[in-house]
Amino acid sequence: MNKPVYEKNMDALNRKYPAWAQRIKNIKKKKRNFDVIAEKSIMGDTILKVALNGKERYLCGKYAPSAVVEKWLSEQGKIEEYSPMVIIGISNGIHIQRIMEAVPKTSNILIYEPSFELFRRAMEEVDLSFLYQLDIPVGIIVDDLNDYELDMYFKLMISYDNMISLKCYLSGNYAGLFPEKVEEFTKKLREHIKALDVNWNTLVRYTDVKANNTFYNLPYLYEGYTIEELQGILPKEIPVIIVSAGPSLNHNITELKKAVGKACIIATDTAMKPLLNAGIVPNLFVIIDGLKPGILFQHKEISKVPMVTMTGVSVEPMKYHKGKKFFYYSGCPLEHKILFELGEKEGRSRILPCLVTGGSVATSAYSLGVYMGTETVILVGQDLALTENRTHADGTFQEKMDEIDVEDPQYFEVESVDGGKVLTRVDFKLYLDWFEKYIKLWGHITTVDATEGGALIHGSKIMTLKKAIQKYCRKEYNVKWHIDHTKRLFGKAGKEIALNYFEDSEKKLKEVGKKAREGLRYYKKLETILKKSQISESEIQNILVKIKKVNNYMEGDYMAETVTDSLMGLESVLRPSIYRMQKERNNELLDIAEQGKVMLFAISVGADEIASIAHETVVPFAKKQKMKQGYKP
């Protein structure tokens, strides 16, 4: 051990991460199957080599440790501002120092070390103190030290905006020494990027209809309930049965009759018609989709079942359903503003609760069941696979579902509940991963997979629905009574607040459109100034001040945010490019002006379109309700 180096490292670490320093001292050294040897390179740098199975492997090269990283940097070309950098392997740190020198100071740098013992030896032999003295965004993950923070660092450092410019550096011989750890890390990194892409595409898919749905559905919120009323209403021993519309539901749907009155049955939207046709009335059903077709809800019994929903869902299902509606947070700024003011008036928080979701109605239903207080969740019809070459149970989208072409390359194999293999597709696999993650995270919840078909959900207990009902549904409990006795979201004072915002919405939207057109003129003027042969700095500064005021308005006004929420399809084109800085200031300002013009033009058009929707929906609703209830104008 190089004692002065070790003490220097520990001193720096103790100032930055005192808990780490303590753990390094406390964790006993394990017997390793490899030795780490420190020596000097020809260039005089301290280098590390690993002796394993009679072979020696240098981690950063034997002769010139910096040569490899220099070659890597030259291959990357220009590294954009805000580019995330992922470095696998700390080794002697020379490559990390060089990358930090070369990349923009705005880059997020995430370092992963797959071996705690190797990290400890590096701390003993090479100067890594620079890692703990940086003021730039650096995250360090060391296996068996703080690897539980990996997801958090992914979320903090790699976003949809910057993932396109992500760079990854694999330190020498790490893949050969720690193949499983490196593969696991890269798999998690790929999954994070895939999830970012899927989540963003989902937002883009829905945002062009979100504003339309929201303004049509706000009157239902006015008359509705909050899922806060459902929180903890179930004793922990009363199970929740989540009924999805996977193909296997055809085989065991009638068994559910035996659970009525002894469990809380929550259906997904697509499972409603098959259940009602089988004479089973669930306690609740969940819908999250902004594009869900109305045909799924064309059933005479649909209104008997309370709906759990949000203001951004499809309009048709809301129209068909005449029963009780429980709302959770949709992310709508207008909705948030109304409830925030209501909370201030009542002296308590009235913001709608968020519902943890994995992007599907089934994952949302699972979260709802846990939120309601149960400690046992039974999954039915949760195939997450193409059981019998079908995507859904009969009686959902059509009376008899068609078989699909399993030769299509979008389908691939995963483990099945019977120990074999079954075909699935990308979205089903994402939901499968979500279930496995939260089953592990919510360890106090017993999750039973009574689907009797489909993909294996690791962490769940596999059993037939008949056996699951016999084992867990043993106590009578009147869930319906508790749901029937919930209170509405808005009392009299709250209704007046909501109606004022509804009535004022068209005028506010027109104000947003006017402000956007004002900003558009400023951006055009900025372009004109920048293209002159003689550029006036005072003119530029003057116009930038005006642009900043418009941008501050757009970022801080609830109705402006409501409009920009509907433009994510446009933002998906603009957002990754906002980090591509131009070398010259004037070119950079021209680039900003061009993007600003596109965005503000879209906001002005969007504000006008949504104003016309408000004119047809919430404005006349508010006026009618005020007249009916005798509110003063």
Instruction: Summarize pLDDT for 42-100 with one digit per residue, the tens.
Output: 666 676 777 676 677 766 666 666 777 888 888 887 777 778 888 888 887 778 888 88
* Of 61, 60, 104, 48, residue with least CA distance to 81: 104
Phi-psi region of 355 (alpha: psi -120 to 50; beta: other; left: phi over 0): beta
Can you read off the two tokens belonging to residue 14?
């103790």
Per-residue pLDDT tens over the stretch 483-507: 999 999 998 888 999 999 999 999 9
Sign of CA dihedral 212, 213, 218, 223: positive
**pLDDT at res. 470:** 96
User: What's the pLDDT tens digit per position in 315-342?
Assistant: 899 999 999 999 999 888 999 999 999 9
Single out the residue of 150, 161, 139, 163 nearest to residue 84, CA to CA.
163
Residue with tokens 């002769």: 63
Mean pLDDT over 284-293 rounds to 86
Reported as a single tens digit per residue, the pLDDT across 206-246 is 445 678 889 999 999 999 999 999 999 999 999 999 999 88
Q: Which three-class secondary structure state does DSSP give residue 492?
A: helix
> Which pLDDT does position 58 carry in this prediction?
64
| C-beta pairs of 356-360 under 8 Å, 24+ apart in sequence | 356/438, 357/288, 358/430, 358/431, 358/434, 358/435, 358/438, 359/198, 359/199, 359/202, 359/427, 359/430, 359/431, 359/434, 360/288, 360/427, 360/431, 360/434
Q: Which residues, listed in sequence order, are joined to residue 422 by a DSSP beta bridge?
A: 414
Q: How many other C-beta atoms are found inside a 10 Å radius of the C-beta of residue 7?
A: 11
In the predicted model, what is the mean pLDDT of residues 102-109?
82
| Tokens 């209704």, residue located | 495
% of the chain surpassing 70 pLDDT: 84
Rg of the chain, C-alpha, whole Å: 29
* Dihedrals phi, psi of 66, to nearest 5 degrees: -80, -15
- Which residues pair with residue 587 across a beta bridge? none
C-alpha 535: how far from its chain's center? 45
Structure tokens at 73: 């940097």
- Sequence-distant (≥ 6) Cβ neighbours of residue 286 within 8 angstroms: 266, 267, 268, 269, 307, 308, 309, 361, 364, 365, 368
List the single range of 115-129, 370-384, 460-474 with lowest mean pLDDT.
115-129
Which residues are bridge partners to 341 per DSSP?
none
pLDDT band at 469 (very low <50, low <70, confident <90, very high): very high
Contacts of 589 (CB under 8 A, 6+ apart): 526, 530, 540
Which of 616, 263, 574 minimizes the C-alpha distance to 448? 263
DSSP structure string for 148-165: GGHHHHHHHH--TTTGGG
Domain segments of the chain: what residues?
3-177, 224-484, 507-629
Exposure string over 269-282, b if 16+ CB within 10 A, otherwise e:
bbbbbbbbeeebeb
What is the distance between the alpha carbons of residues 234 and 240, in angstroms, rounded to a whole number? 9
Which segments within 190-256 are labelled E, that is strand?
225-226, 240-243
Which residue type does 194 have? K
The amino acid that residue 569 corresponds to is: G
DSSP one-letter code for 126: S
